A and B are shown apart, each in its own frame.
Chain A
Amino acid sequence: MNKFTALYQKAKSVCISILKKILSFFVWILTPILILVAALYQKVKPVCVRILKKILSFFLWILAPVLILTSAFITNGIIIFLFGYNPIEAYAAAIGITFGSVSAVSETLVRSTPFLMTGLSVAIAFRCGMWNIGAEGQFLMGVLAATWFGTKIAILFPNTSWIAVPLCLSFAILAGGIWGIIPAILKVTRGVNEVISTIMLNYIAIHFVSLMIDGGPLQETSKTGPQSDPIAEWVFLPRLFESHRIHLGTGLAVILAIVLTYVLFRTTFGYQLRAVGEGAAAAEAAGISISHNTLRVFFISGALAGLGGAIEIMALVPHRLTENFSPDYGYTAIAVALLAKLHPLMTVATALLFGALAKGSFAMEAEVGISRQVTLMMQAIILLFVIGASAVKFFRKRTL
């Protein structure tokens, strides 16, 4: 007993001394600063106000997404509870599998990559005021081009990764870009609404891919199922670390996000894109060609989605094109981009969120036993919150 009392006394004295030190630190360091600030108040004021304003605006900028997500998670927690599971346990499992270890993080990043690529594709198009809903189709056309190259053409360059990989990626970029430029041409020449044409082109792409691998020229040689052969080994994208699945494509996607940010905010090209998106009439009067920029942005948007598709097949096992290759990446990308406020750098964060969501719901299924339907519903609820909040935002912007 005495021992404990002694220990308590010791702890108490240590605590007090620490508190005293902190106090003295405040007194000795902060007081002069405060006096200085007070003395130079008039001079310092604008700087302080500016810093405070920056902090506040940053806080507000970050606050909206955080609020949206918090309310979505609370709603989902209620749903989990209503279905008879422990929400805390479920969230713990989800967090553990997404960020619990190095390999978990690596896996989450791998899952996020297609969201990032398609998200960037959508973000850049929306920035220009082009409602490209066709990332799904452009993604699939990229996959198709990569599969075609990987299974048929790559044999011409045996074991030459340094030629085959860039060439394969270029094929996918071209395929996605061309698929993207079709609605742009229709819009510029015929005035076809791009929302309709891109959705239609999605259907065409989905069924065209099915056709190619189900009895078509790209079906596996054994002709057993609706899938392609695996692509040649020397077209695989290398991993970044030997022991983890995180691959070159993830790095490429992040670099692209940075490059796109630079292009959007620092180049004449990006300036023109934004001008067309924010005020088409003013842009036109300034001498910026709307049709020119429509074509360009659609090509880039499609190319990004197509590249994302190629990365998926070239980096991940089984390296073959199957049916339902894309679990609606291209549509989810709209939410990814909107949540990021169409900012390429923010898209990295939102894509990560969506990758984590996909993995987390898998963990809830596997570890807590929540059924797939419920986890899908939860994901949809999060999307609903996000889209709802963005819609409010867009509405406000118009009325201003």
Chain B
Amino acid sequence: METENILELQKLTKAFGDLIAVDNVDFELQAGEIHAILGENGAGKSTLMNLIYGLHQPSGGNIRIFGKSKVFKSPRDAIASGIGMVHQHFMLIENLTVAENIALTVAQFSSKDGNTDSIESGTESPPEENGIPSKLSTFRYKKSDAIRLTEALSNRFGLAVDPSVLVRTLSVGLKQRVEILKALAVDARILILDEPTAVLSPQEVTGFFKILRALQADNRSIIFISHKMKEVLEISDRITVLRHGKKVYHGKTGELSAPGLAREMLGEELSEVERKENKATTDLVLNVSGLTVPGSRNENAVLDVSIQAYRGEIVGIAGVDGNGQRELAEAIMGLRPITSGAVEILGRQPSGTKNIRKCGVGYIPEDRRTMGIITSFSIADNLMLNITHFEHLAKRGVISQKAKNRASTQLINTYDIRPSSANIPASALSGGNQQKIVLAREISPQPELLIAVNPTRGLDVNAAQYVHQNLFAQRDRKKSVLLISTELDEVLQMSDRLYVMSRGRLIEATAHRDNIEALGLLMTGETDE
């Protein structure tokens, strides 16, 4: 294999305000290699890819393609330079056929003069294969041309798809194929695949890997983003591990075993925090038994989950994003229908979010901007966005302005929400301050049970520490906390009992709390072996 570097990143940095998402990352991609990028959620994988794909512009550093320094203003430029990206959520037009979807992309990029020559810079131009049009007219759509082009592409790469079928009738695996075809149609030399196997069944994964091998044989380079260790070890040539925006490991596949990689991903140094001894009682607050919850795609997002939370303890659930944690929390809160199982709170089975909240349940939702706050509402209005709060502030249905102002001023001061004026809309606040609104509202009434999903996401260290203190305080008050977080450090530090959630199932992992490698394997779903 040649060692020509097709893509080079030099000291690439991206900062969002104070947060440095990508920190001085060097990276190179050789022609015809599959390069895996591993990392936890928030490690900066997606941001890095978005930088390469032109969705974000770097704050510092260089992107070099075929040895030339490039600045991408938008994905258009990136595509023109031969970079294709298959997003986790497909960017296909569901109501068009496969051929039409592909024609749409081709027509856009073959029409612009100047684009084609940048594709050619470094590689040969796409060959005109026995009368098959590699370009389509921008103005007039010829169905037969589009179909022939699609067929030619699928034959060339062995990606069989029926060109005249509507995309919405395709299975997820086939849709992904169309996405790849779309990238190949404009002759992408570099393919970025963002969690491509997350949506595939094991059988489909096998087929998918065959495709990747075929593409590799065609001297195309692939960046493969995943957190599934097994697949990465199987398919990739080289591995780069990112943690907190920094490149922490880089090497040939096979140099490090799965546990080693897990350690690199999660970080060895675990901050030691003094943990008070477990004061858990045998007083049951939350009792979930046999809970199965359907997800948005008709699959079971939560599968036969049973979990108990007692007074005076923090129960932690760790896991990679999208393994059913959100659905579990929403089901407990009555926000999501349940297929089977039961949720019991303080011995009762309240129905509906209103009644659940009235039992004394606080909820810090994962999705702050849509579920935690109403951005057009003022800070004061957001601080009482909880049925028990505003009913408490009201007398016979009329909200006391005095009580409302007093309550909001007090919460703004205690939680240091900035800017501190109660009447400005929440949309004017930074993400961290918006999160503080949610925290102030949900923690301050000292609920019997607090369900916190990623409570410190977007907070700075001090604010996060303040949240942790509050959670501990809840525990010391003999209340119960269910902490669901993708930050393993946080869960380890906070929880008295520990679970790991993976693919909708809950695994008791308190015994493994000091064994980070075992936890990493549990989180990445490597339990069956």
Contacts and interface: CB of A to CB of B under 8 A. Distances in A.
A284 B353 contact: yes
Contacts of A275: 374, 377, 385
B525 interface: no
Contacts of B354: 287-289
B390 interface: yes
A323 B25 CA distance: 75
Interface string A249-288: 0000000000000000011110100110011011111111
Contacts of B385: 275, 282-283, 286
A279 B370 contact: yes
A283 B391 contact: no
Contacts of B352: 289
Nearest to B398: A267
Nearest to A268: B394
A289 B353 CA distance: 8
Interface string B359-394: 000010101001111111100010011111011001
Contact of B374 (A267, A269, A279): A279
Most buried by B among A274, A279, A285: A285
A275 B390 CA distance: 12
Contacts of B357: 286-287
B333 interface: yes
A285 B333 contact: yes
B399 interface: yes
B356 A287 contact: yes
Contact of A400 (B365, B372, B398, B427): B427
Given A271-B381, A275-B377, A279-B375, A287 B386 contact: yes
A268 B397 contact: yes
Interface size grouping (class) on chain B: 20 to 34
A269 B398 CA distance: 8
Contacts of B372: 282, 285
Interface string B321-351: 0000000000001010000000000000000
A381 to B, nearest CB: 31
Interface string A227-246: 00000000000000000000
B358 interface: yes
Given A284-B335, A284-B353, A266 B371 contact: no
A255 B384 CA distance: 29
Contacts of A397: 376
A400 B369 CA distance: 12
B515 interface: no
A347 B406 CA distance: 32
Contacts of B365: 285
Interface in A271-329: 271, 274-275, 278-279, 281-289
Contact of A266 (B363, B375, B399): B399
A285 B376 contact: no
A282 B370 contact: yes
Question: Looking at chain A's contact residues, is the secondary structure mostly helix, strand, loop, or mixed?
Answer: helix
Most buried by A among B353, B357, B394: B353
A286 B394 CA distance: 16
Contact of B397 (A267, A278, A285, A289): A267
Interface string B443-468: 00000000000000000000000000
A287 B356 CA distance: 8
A400 to B, nearest CB: 6
Question: Looking at chain B's contact residues, is the secondary structure mostly helix, strand, loop, or mixed?
Answer: mixed
Contacts of B401: 266
A288 B371 CA distance: 12
Contact of A285 (B363, B388, B390): B363
Nearest to B368: A282
Contacts of B384: 271
A288 B370 CA distance: 15
Given A266-B401, A267-B394, A268-B394, A287 B353 contact: yes
Interface string A375-400: 00000000000000000000001001
A283 B375 CA distance: 12
Interface in B392-421: 394, 397-399, 401
B399 A278 contact: no
A271 B399 contact: yes
A267 to B, nearest CB: 5
A275 B377 CA distance: 8
Given A287-B357, A287-B358, A268 B390 contact: yes
Contacts of A289: 352-354
Contacts of B371: 281-282, 284-285
Contacts of A287: 353-354, 356-358, 386-388
A289 B357 CA distance: 12
Interface in A109-142: none
A267 B353 contact: no
Interface in A36-63: none
A384 B335 CA distance: 40
A108 to B, nearest CB: 34
Contact of A286 (B367, B375, B386, B397): B386
A221 to B, nearest CB: 47
Nearest to B377: A278
Contacts of A400: 375, 427
A316 B4 CA distance: 88
Contacts of A271: 381, 384, 390, 399
B382 to A, nearest CB: 9
A288 B333 CA distance: 12
Contacts of B363: 285
Contacts of B370: 279, 281-282
Contacts of A268: 390-391, 394, 397-399
Contacts of A283: 374, 385
Interface string B246-279: 0000000000000000000000000000000000
B69 to A, nearest CB: 33
B374 A282 contact: yes
B377 A267 contact: no
Contacts of A274: 377
B482 to A, nearest CB: 15
A279 B356 CA distance: 20
A288 B387 contact: yes
A266 B399 CA distance: 6
Nearest to A271: B390
24 contacts: A268-B397, A269-B397, A271-B384, A274-B377, A278-B377, A279-B374, A281-B371, A283-B374, A283-B385, A284-B371, A285-B333, A285-B335, A285-B363, A286-B353, A286-B385, A286-B386, A287-B353, A287-B357, A287-B358, A287-B388, A288-B354, A288-B387, A289-B352, A400-B427
Given A266-B398, A279-B377, 14 more contacts: A268-B390, A268-B398, A271-B381, A274-B377, A275-B385, A279-B374, A282-B371, A282-B372, A283-B385, A285-B353, A286-B387, A287-B386, A400-B375, A400-B427
The 5 A-B residue pairs whose C-beta atoms are closest, nearest first, are A287-B387, A279-B374, A287-B357, A287-B354, A285-B371
Interface of A: 266-269, 271, 274-275, 278-279, 281-289, 397, 400
Interface of B: 333, 335, 352-354, 356-358, 363, 365, 367, 370-377, 381, 384-388, 390-391, 394, 397-399, 401, 427
